[in-house]
Amino acid sequence: MIYPEPIDHFDRLPDSILLFIFNKIGDVKALGRCSVVSRRFNSLVPEVDNVLVRVDCVISDDESSSPSSSTGYSSDKSRHPISSLFRLVFSGLLKPFQSITQFISISPRRAASSSAAVVDGDDFEKNSVTHHSPTQVLRNFNEIKLLRIELPSGELGIDEGVLLKWRADFGSTLDNCIILGASSVIQPVTSTSGCSLPNIDGNGENDNGSIPDSFYTNGGLKLRVVWTISSLIAASARHYLLQPIIAEHKTLDSLVLTDADGQGVLCMNKEQLEELRVKPLSASSASKRTLVPALNMRLWYAAHLELPDGTVLKGATLVAIRPSEQPKKEVVGGDGNWVAAAFKEPYGTAARMLVKRRTYCLEMNSF
């Protein structure tokens, strides 16, 4: 008896449908697995235009570093909150990436320890895992338009309970940066009936939006300056490391570099990407990061800011930053959405509430 050959229903789907599915998948590891399913899939994966790269470990470029200094991101971050990450991520990676199939050919032991770098010890051999940078992995894609890279954690080591979020837009240099911080966040209290109760602690009285004198004497201003400079350094370091990716992928329309903690987001649109290709960035002479230009900053502060959902931000601070050479941009009305739109809710609401308060203007030199 002769049986008909089995039908592969995927063969009936046009390439456009498969590419639509692959673009919905996005994640580069999942796409790597798809590419080894068949020759057809292998030929289509490089045409995906919406890609997500999750960086799940950092690798030290110092071969002589001790096991304690190369076992992961968290231990290094506490000692070097900014410089360590950008000395490690995307650099010093073992063996060039040859094909997307190599990228997904990782041992089970690697899967169990994806948050670690190359680990020395009895359980792991130093060369048992092959690591690849996003730059190397993305060379397998030819048509990327939307690219999102996610780091395993934010760079800035902050105390538990402290809120610090930033968003920066870059072209060949910084276009703008928005920073939202709070010394503590008090979540709304929920009653037994499931209703949110207002936070009442005696510190929510009305004020005129002015910064109290104690803010200058108790270290409050100094802390905000540290938040601002640290966020700008983190953003400029991320921007510097994106150069090879931007240079190699001329089809990019949007690039976002974020982290799993949601601490910082760097964004570049099509015009900004093209600007960087045409006008090379100015690098800082002190470290591997983009030079931050002279800046104009506007600051808003509230000792106690209660949001509509009941969340309370203590010492809430919003800083809007733009290069001094650029014309001033409104933060309320007209084109003012660039501040509030920087953060997801409820923090977008917090930004809108803060910009209605008294504005303080500051300046910062290039660094």
Quote the mean pLDDT of the chain.
77
Give me the pLDDT at residue 168, please.
97
**Residue 189 forms beta bridges with which residues?**
197
Question: Could you report the per-residue pLDDT of 136-158, keeping only the tens digit for each?
Answer: 889 889 999 999 999 988 888 88
Structure confidence at residue 191 as a pLDDT band (50, 70, 90):
low
Per-residue pLDDT at 146: 97
* Residue 122 reports pLDDT greater than 50: no
pTM of the model: 0.75
Provide the β-strand partners of residue 259. Answer: 151
- How many C-beta neighbours within 10 Å does residue 31 have? 25
| DSSP β-bridge partners for residue 166 | 179, 264
Q: Which residue has the higher pLDDT, 232 or 7?
A: 232
Taking a C-beta distance cutoff of 8 angstroms, is the pair 169, 176 a contact? yes
CA distances from 31 to 172, 217, 329 (A): 31, 54, 41
pLDDT at 229 over 90: yes
Residue with tokens 């999942």: 30
pLDDT band at 195 (very low <50, low <70, confident <90, very high): low
pLDDT at res. 74: 40
Average the pLDDT over 173-201 and give the result.
Answer: 76
User: Is residue 214 scored above 60 in pLDDT?
Assistant: yes
Region of poorest pLDDT, from 1-15, 98-112, 327-341: 98-112
Instruction: Label residue 257 by pLDDT band (50, 70, 90).
Output: very high
Q: CB–CB of 259/150 below 8 Å?
A: yes
Is residue 66 a contact partner of residue 76, using CB atoms and an 8 Å limit? no
Stronger pLDDT, 149 or 60, i.e. the higher one: 149
Q: Name which of 70-79, 140-149, 163-172, 322-331 the model is least confident about.
A: 70-79
Helix, strand or coil, per DSSP, at residue 186: strand
How far, rounded to the nearest angstrom, does the alpha carbon of residue 61 sit from its chain's CA centroid?
A: 22
Paired residues of 299 in beta bridges? 319, 360
Tell me what pLDDT residue 81 has. 37
Q: What is the mean pLDDT of residues 86-99?
A: 32
Higher pLDDT, 168 or 70: 168
Cα 310 off chain centre by: 27
Name the CA dihedral angle for 286, 287, 292, 298, rounded to a multiple of 10 degrees: -100
Higher pLDDT, 153 or 348: 348
Q: Could you give the CA distance from residue 295 to residue 323 in angstroms, rounded to a whole number? A: 4
Long-range contacts of 24-31 (CB under 8 A, 24+ apart): 24/50, 26/50, 26/51, 26/52, 26/148, 27/52, 27/54, 28/52, 28/53, 28/54, 28/103, 28/137, 28/138, 29/54, 29/103, 29/104, 31/100
Q: Angle at Cα 180 formed by Cα 363 and Cα 333, nearest 5°?
A: 75
- Domain locations along the chain: 156-189+211-236+280-364
Output b/e per residue, 213-231; b: 16+ Cβ within 10 A. eebeeeebeebbeebbebb
What's the full length of the chain, in residues?
367
Place of tokens 């990061």: 289
The confidence score (pLDDT) of residue 194 equals 54
Q: Please check the confidence at residue 333 and state whether its pLDDT lies above 60.
A: no
**Which of 2-16, 243-257, 340-354 shows the lowest mean pLDDT across its residues?**
2-16
Alpha helices in the chain (DSSP H): 15-25, 28-35, 39-44, 73-79, 83-88, 100-104, 108-111, 134-138, 214-217, 220-241, 243-248, 270-278, 337-340, 347-354
Amino acid found at 56: D
